[in-house]
A and B are shown apart, each in its own frame.
Chain A
């Protein structure tokens, strides 16, 4: 089985690369254009929109690549993709090289090649200004620490084992959650912390730096020529002092960067052999567990709130009916993603701060409540009018008529669509990854974007989802059959 998987993997990954097996440098020369990849939304000071002129990108890497392209005698052309997709995009030949704070790691070395280092960085711990309890990396034990997903910093936190690491898509949200107290600390590369936290009076950067890594340009393994040319140009920039000038301009220069000129530091492979590799099977299983818990809790809320809304719509007075109608229409008419975002990132502006897990359960539950309410309403309305009349004429109260006569009959109609909704909710739990909950999809992206084993991990993740949802499908189908069997 495993051999087949690897074969499939090779097919999927190597095929596009083989198709473009022309040496990248030849094409750069032919077209006079060096296409380089980065994430324009990944944050400062790497590549980011100029605040005064948002369609103009700036950053130390823009300066760096411009200078480098000049040395090579070509034009630099920037291509933006999401940060955790940079390596796959490079392998797909969306561009020739990556310059975007891409740390050299064991996992990445397995997939791509790196140039010589162009920056030595450490990890910066940032805490709230009034916090004196956290002074060193070890003080982070037992604490909730924010970082960027799939970065070296993320991995250092995960591997420690005693720290609750919370992965964010970009720095802004992480520093904001630190400010409002959702996090105890933020752990990110020094250049990021210098840009976002240094000027913020509510936060402070600790002097104790942790870890050490290097940024280098990523190139495909089939482009040794291009790699050589980039190395030559980088050496020229280092020796001429041009690179130092760029770092001075961006306030990034420190004595560590003296090592850039030392040829012994240029072999990035040796330098990073000791980087740890994450345990991904465990991560996936934990994610699957979280997905199950999220699904059941949210569905419980959806059933309870949905019943209440249904009762309000059917039997409430004018005001209650109007409120319920508006609720159902608004919830169904807006994307769940936006609702989750508002609940988690928006509510703190009103002074209401929900933990990520609570926001996820409430968001999913109250969203699906709107759909449940409509299913229940349709189920009750589909009953013959004579049923309620018979119950009433036997002297039952409205509550008794529902409890003993109407609801038990409606349940037969309600269960199949409601189960389908549950399966949909189950899959929609993947959306809560945007509010930092580590459920199965998030565990998958974390694992896959660090190891680039998209296919194997993707199949494993799909299998986990399927194993969890299939019993429900079977059950729903059985219910459907029973319903048809009992109605002649």
Chain B
């Protein structure tokens, strides 16, 4: 089977500050891969480069049939970039829910506007997803009325609503109280058992190691120090 995500000789700097020196990595469909490494090493930067929230200067990234090359022209390639983004769901450390919308609206906005789904279809899907993460009663709440764990479950559901091929998690549990970490890991574990491809960045690997199929540990310049399957 061909790898789903191919990172080839990726290089990324902020000005003179080189964050990713020369990273090559293949990720297969169905893998649950945990990226670990000290704080500030560039793990978030890697995830943000995969969806081109950050431009990079060297190498290329392939996601399915789409290719993002270094120094591409954002304007010309904007359809490719958007296609990659709809394939890769993103779950943020600080949730980044839309505070002016209700929970259900957070889930239906992008399917309606980006995937051009009908309102009814989007609502139906969203309700199923809320049920899956155990929040069907909170559909009409605003994010500020939810606990941290509930917010992060909405964040996961929002990513799933786009029917992504893989989900990128950037420190999904780090800003949560210990008892809430558990509910998030359970939700992630359910996803893993359904065969979802997941890339999980964390500096507390113990929390998510249980669901990992592969663990990659990074050093300076995002050099791969170890890459072990489990």
Interface residues in chain A, defined as those with a beta carbon under 8 Å from any beta carbon in chain B: 384, 386-387, 389-397, 400, 404-405, 408-409, 412, 486, 488
Given A384-B96, A389-B90, A394-B85, 4 additional A-B pairs, CB 8 A: A386-B94, A394-B86, A394-B90, A397-B78
Knowing A392-B85, A394-B110 are in contact, say whether A408-B100 is a contact too (CB < 8 A).
yes
Which of B85, B96, B144, B158 is within 8 Å of A395, CB to CB?
B85
Which of B92, B100, B113 is within 8 Å of A390, CB to CB?
B92
Using Cβ atoms and an 8 Å threshold, which residues of chain A touch B78? 397
* CB-nearest residue of chain A to B89: A393
Contact A387 B96 (CB under 8 A): yes
Using Cβ atoms and an 8 Å threshold, which residues of chain B touch A408? 100
Knowing A386-B96, A389-B53 are in contact, say whether A395-B90 is a contact too (CB < 8 A).
no
Using Cβ atoms and an 8 Å threshold, which residues of chain B touch A412? 100
Contact A390 B114 (CB under 8 A): no
Using Cβ atoms and an 8 Å threshold, which residues of chain A touch B144? 486, 488
Contact B53 A392 (CB under 8 A): yes
Knowing A404-B113, A488-B144 are in contact, say whether A394-B96 is a contact too (CB < 8 A).
no
A396 CA / B115 CA spacing, docked (Å): 10
Knowing A386-B94, A387-B96, A405-B98 are in contact, say whether A393-B114 is a contact too (CB < 8 A).
no
A70 CA / B114 CA spacing, docked (Å): 92
Interface residues of B in 16-59 (CB under 8 A from A): 51, 53
Count contacts on B: residues with CB < 8 A to the other chain: 25
| CB-CB nearest 6 A-B residue pairs | A390-B96, A386-B96, A394-B110, A393-B90, A395-B86, A395-B114
Knowing A395-B85, A395-B110, A488-B144 are in contact, say whether A390-B98 is a contact too (CB < 8 A).
yes
Interface residues in chain B, defined as those with a beta carbon under 8 Å from any beta carbon in chain A: 51, 53, 78, 82-83, 85-86, 88-90, 92, 94, 96-100, 109-110, 113-115, 144, 158, 162
The minimal Cβ–Cβ distance linking B87 to chain A, given in whole angstroms, is: 9
The minimal Cβ–Cβ distance linking B49 to chain A, given in whole angstroms, is: 12
A286 CA / B213 CA spacing, docked (Å): 79
Using Cβ atoms and an 8 Å threshold, which residues of chain B touch A405? 98, 109
A488 CA / B158 CA spacing, docked (Å): 24
Contact A400 B113 (CB under 8 A): yes
Using Cβ atoms and an 8 Å threshold, which residues of chain A touch B158? 394
Contact B100 A409 (CB under 8 A): yes
The minimal Cβ–Cβ distance linking A97 to chain B, given in whole angstroms, is: 69
